[in-house]
């Protein structure tokens, strides 16, 4: 076998006939030339699941899909194969009642109805011990404990996915995970196998654009948007149906880290996101998100405005189909025990309630199998729904018996239907008694491994995304591509990805190519795309500052009354003020005495949304203070000083008349109003030209 592989490398053509070599039982080789099943059956296609027609649902008879996904689901014991690094919180969802016309699901249709929820945020690629702030897709999974059963909305912070068909899910994750020989790099996509895969599977291009943008490094879970990714079918009381896309809109706004912040946080505080989430809830600054839906016609075409709704690599721009807000989620309680709740919670796209159905999206169809199958190994058997965190909040009588970790004590002697022994119970529930009855729809077509032609457009929405970004966001995206591809060793992979980018935007391709020192290939990007302003995170009007953190630099002789006044104003708006001093302890005396929450040794800019220097602080050249202020300035954060605190900024090299720098003689209404405005804009992006030459947008 080894000699046959060698001759193939040297250019000779080995026989394509099945090999008859007898392999010893103790030598389980993985050296065959052709892709096969685990039983040795040669496979002509591993990119498409078997469907009833190109647009039909996936067939259960697809033994290759089930074998491939099953093996993938059971690769890790007991850590999750994906989304291993997570943080979670309990909360409540309150319906606005504005979805009543499109769904009979009680928890969405009835105004004022409150539903208990459990939400888990996560990264995709890293292990449980990886850092929070890596560039990655984030999971945004919500378990609704409704009176009609459990509904899981298992989404992400990116509205599209890398692949169109779930049969390729093991492939994209294998490509993104650490290399199997060295188990590096951890929680990163900046390596050869990832870029090899996405440059060969160009359907990933749209998702890659999102991941390389600022969306790939959110500021916090509180400021992260969420999406259901797929098109779902909603069913109204009247029986009328609609297709919808689910959106989570953070009340605090959509904000991200800059790349240097993400790198610093991964080193000095790898728990940055989970700490922020837990601390916010403990402080009473509860993270809030509004649930919205894009309502689209269910006319049998599974498309809208020329967009294939069954293609999970496509979005429907909000300008084309506005998002209707239908309820608010508030996270108000931290888990009591990480393992019992956050680690053991089990989500599944097949956990549905009356009024919500799935569609023929081939990625969704595979997820319906995969999530359930995964729990069997990870949670030790079929009874994971009996764990307290997963337990439904409504009556259950499933007639499932025994199995590992069976906690229920089932009464009766007839676990079957129908029976005449146990009072004929349990009985079937008709639709009028909240029974789940799918809307009848025709399903027909030849059994094929293929996609519809509409799935072939891999670039137009990636182009729309790039051209919808602000100039500074485009710069960040170019830098991300340049950094990630610069980490690849194989020149052919870099060149192939540049070919992909040439089909997205010529300017994007040229800038990345220049950063890599390679020629930019010519492509044919779409020129008729309409930008979607909703895709940009840069805002022009100040948003809320609840949950934001202001660091105030002070020393023993600082203006304590001014700090007290600033704290009072910030507290009214839901923000937090923390005092930073050279050493810990107390500053001042009496009613204006201040507790030192951070020292210059423990404080870094990443922890704060704004840094302010209190008046009457003597100028200093303390290198740690200079680092703190210069980081905040370089990251375009709000910076302020009052009184002689301005001398500290000047000594640290801060440009006092730069955008986002707030100065005053004292803490008065004008000073606090200007600081709140700067903080509400998240960052002073107009300052970017001063702090990084590459932030100057290219001509044209």
Active-site position among 48, 64, 106, 156: 156
Read off the pLDDT of residues 112-164 as tens digits, 9 standing for 90 and up.
999 999 999 999 999 999 999 999 999 999 999 999 999 999 999 999 999 99
Which pair of structure tokens corresponds to residue 671? Answer: 């000073």
pLDDT of residue 76: 66
Burial label, 353 (beta-carbon count in 10 A; 0-12, 13-18, 19+): buried
- Max mean pLDDT among 68-77, 355-364, 381-390 falls in 355-364
Q: At what angle do helices 560-572 and 669-680 cross, to 10 degrees?
A: 50
Read off the pLDDT of residues 240-285 as tens digits, 9 standing for 90 and up.
999 999 999 999 999 999 999 999 999 999 999 999 999 999 999 9
> Nearest 10 degrees: CA dihedral of 624, 625, 626, 627?
50
Phi, then psi, of 118 in degrees rounded to 5: -135, 130
**468 in Cβ contact with 535 (< 8 Å):** yes
The pLDDT mean for the chain works out to 91
Q: Are strands 661-664 and 638-642 parallel, antiparallel or unpaired?
A: parallel
Q: Which residues, 6+ apart, have CB-to-CB distance to 655 below 8 Å?
A: 633, 661, 690
* CA–CA dist 249, 241 (Å, integer): 24
How long, in residues, is the chain? 700
* CA–CA dist 263, 604 (Å, integer): 12
**What's the pTM value of the predicted model, to 2 decimals?**
0.90
Cα atoms in the Cβ-side hemisphere of radius 13 Å centred on 273 = 31
Q: Which residue is associated with the tokens 């079957």?
A: 416
pLDDT of residue 2: 37
Name which of 18-32, 231-245, 341-355, 501-515 the model is least confident about. 18-32
- Residue 508's pLDDT band (boundaries 50, 70, 90)? very high
**Strand ranges of the sheet holding 610-613, from the earlier edge strand across to the other edge:** 586-587, 594-599, 576-581, 549-553, 610-613, 638-642, 661-664
pLDDT of residue 38: 72
Which pair of structure tokens corresponds to residue 241? Answer: 């149906």
Terminal Cα distance for the chain, rounded: 57
pLDDT of residue 30: 66
User: Is the pLDDT at 232 greater than 60, yes or no?
Assistant: yes
pLDDT of residue 5: 35
Distance of CA 388 to the CA centre of its chain: 26
Active-site residue flag, 156: yes
Phi, then psi, of 124 in degrees rounded to 5: -95, -50
* CA–CA dist 469, 184 (Å, integer): 32
pLDDT of residue 399: 79
- Residue 668's pLDDT band (boundaries 50, 70, 90)? very high
pLDDT of residue 405: 84
pLDDT of residue 21: 47
* CA–CA dist 394, 28 (Å, integer): 49
Helices (H), 379-470: 460-468
Phi, then psi, of 219 in degrees rounded to 5: -65, -40
Percent of the chain with pLDDT over 90: 76
pLDDT of residue 139: 98
pLDDT of residue 1: 35
**232 in Cβ contact with 220 (< 8 Å):** no
* CA–CA dist 583, 556 (Å, integer): 10
- Residue 697's pLDDT band (boundaries 50, 70, 90)? very low
**454 in Cβ contact with 311 (< 8 Å):** yes
Distance of CA 664 to the CA centre of its chain: 40
| CA dist list (Å): 512 to 220, 474, 499, 515 | 28, 11, 11, 5
Q: What is the DSSP letter of 393?
A: S
Which pair of structure tokens corresponds to residue 102? Answer: 């499109």
User: Which one, of 504, 508, 394, lies nearest residue 459 by Cα?
Assistant: 504
The mean pLDDT value for 303-312 works out to 97
Domains of the chain: 70-386 (2.40.180.10), 459-535 (1.20.1370.20), 549-691 (3.40.50.880)
User: Which one, of 661, 664, 655, lies nearest residue 677 by Cα?
Assistant: 661
Active-site position among 83, 434, 476, 682: 83
User: Is the pLDDT at 685 greater than 90, yes or no?
Assistant: yes
User: Is the pLDDT at 433 greater than 90, yes or no?
Assistant: no
* CA–CA dist 26, 241 (Å, integer): 57
Cα atoms in the Cβ-side hemisphere of radius 13 Å centred on 476 = 28
* CA–CA dist 31, 37 (Å, integer): 13
Read off the pLDDT of residues 152-165 as tens digits, 9 standing for 90 and up.
999 999 999 999 99
User: Is the pLDDT at 32 greater than 80, yes or no?
Assistant: no
- Max mean pLDDT among 49-53, 167-171, 378-382 falls in 167-171
The count of other CB atoms within 10 Å of the CB of residue 325 is 15
Active-site residue flag, 83: yes
pLDDT of residue 619: 66
pLDDT of residue 411: 86
Percent of the chain with pLDDT over 70: 94
Residue 278, SS3 per DSSP: helix
């Amino acid at each position: 076998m080894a000699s046959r592989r060698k001759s193939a490398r040297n250019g000779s053509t080995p026989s394509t006939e099945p090999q008859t070599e007898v392999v010893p039982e103790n030598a389980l080789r993985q050296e065959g030339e052709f892709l096969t099943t685990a039983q040795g059956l040669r496979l002509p296609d591993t990119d498409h699941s078997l469907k009833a027609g190109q647009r039909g649902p996936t067939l259960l008879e697809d033994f290759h899909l089930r074998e491939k996904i099953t093996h993938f689901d059971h690769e890790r014991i007991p850590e999750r194969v994906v989304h291993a690094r997570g943080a979670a919180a309990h909360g409540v969802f309150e319906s606005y009642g504005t979805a009543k016309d499109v769904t009979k699901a009680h928890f969405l249709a009835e105004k004022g109805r409150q539903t208990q929820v459990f939400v888990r945020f996560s990264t995709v690629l890293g292990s449980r011990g990886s850092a929070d702030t890596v560039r990655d897709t984030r999971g945004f999974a919500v378990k609704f404990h409704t009176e009609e059963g459990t509904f899981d909305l298992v989404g992400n912070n990116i509205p599209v996915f890398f692949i169109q068909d779930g049969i390729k899910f093991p492939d994209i994750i294998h490509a993104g995970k650490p290399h199997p020989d060295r188990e590096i790099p951890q929680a990163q996509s900046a390596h050869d196998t990832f870029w090899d895969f996405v440059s060969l599977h160009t359907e990933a291009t749209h998702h890659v654009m999102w991941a390389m943008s600022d969306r790939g490094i959110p500021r916090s879970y509180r400021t992260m948007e969420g999406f259901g990714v797929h098109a779902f079918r909603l069913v109204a009381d009247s029986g009328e149906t609609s297709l919808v896309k689910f959106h989570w809109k953070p009340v605090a706004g959509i904000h991200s880290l800059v790349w240097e912040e993400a790198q610093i946080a991964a080193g000095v505080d790898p728990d940055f996101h989970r700490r922020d989430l837990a601390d916010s809830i403990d402080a009473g600054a509860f993270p809030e998100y509004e649930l919205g839906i894009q309502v689209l016609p269910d006319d049998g075409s599974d498309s809208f405005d020329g967009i294939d709704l069954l293609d999970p690599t496509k979005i429907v721009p909000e300008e084309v189909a506005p998002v209707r807000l239908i309820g608010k989620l508030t996270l108000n309680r931290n888990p009591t025990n990480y393992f019992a709740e956050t680690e053991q919670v089990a989500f599944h796209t097949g956990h549905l309630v009356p009024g919500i159905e799935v569609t023929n999206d081939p990625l969704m169809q595979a997820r319906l199998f995969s999530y359930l199958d995964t729990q069997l190994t990870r949670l030790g058997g079929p009874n994971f729904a009996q764990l307290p965190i997963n337990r439904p909040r409504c009556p259950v009588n499933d007639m499932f018996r025994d199995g590992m970790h069976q906690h229920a004590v089932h009464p009766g002697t007839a676990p079957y239907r129908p029976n005449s022994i146990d009072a004929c119970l349990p009985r079937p529930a008709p639709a009028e008694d909240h029974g789940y009855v799918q809307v009848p729809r025709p399903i027909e077509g030849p059994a094929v491994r293929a996609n519809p032609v509409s799935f072939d457009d891999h670039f137009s929405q990636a182009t729309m995304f790039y051209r919808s970004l602000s100039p500074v966001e485009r710069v960040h995206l170019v830098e991300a591509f340049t950094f990630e591809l610069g980490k690849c060793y194989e020149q052919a992979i870099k060149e192939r990805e540049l070919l992909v980018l040439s089909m997205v935007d010529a300017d994007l391709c040229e800038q990345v190519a220049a950063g890599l020192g390679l020629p930019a290939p010519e492509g044919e990007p779409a020129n008729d795309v309409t930008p979607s302003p909703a895709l940009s995170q840069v805002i022009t009007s100040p948003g809320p500052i609840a949950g934001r953190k202001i660091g105030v630099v002070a020393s023993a002789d600082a203006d304590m009354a001014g700090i007290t006044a600033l704290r009072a104003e910030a507290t009214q708006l839901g923000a937090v003020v923390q005092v930073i001093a050279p050493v810990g302890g107390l500053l001042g005396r009496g009613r204006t005495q201040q507790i030192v929450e951070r020292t210059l040794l423990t404080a870094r800019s990443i922890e704060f949304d704004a840094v302010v220097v209190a008046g009457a602080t003597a100028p200093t050249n303390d290198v740690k203070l200079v680092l703190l202020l210069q980081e905040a300035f370089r990251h375009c954060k709000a910076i302020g000083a009052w009184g002689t605190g301005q001398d500290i900024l000047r000594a640290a090299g801060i440009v006092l008349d730069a955008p986002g720098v707030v100065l005053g003689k004292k803490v008065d209404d004008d000073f606090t109003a200007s600081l709140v405005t700067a903080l509400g804009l998240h960052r002073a992006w107009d300052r970017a030209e001063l702090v990084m030459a590459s932030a100057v947008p290219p001509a044209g």
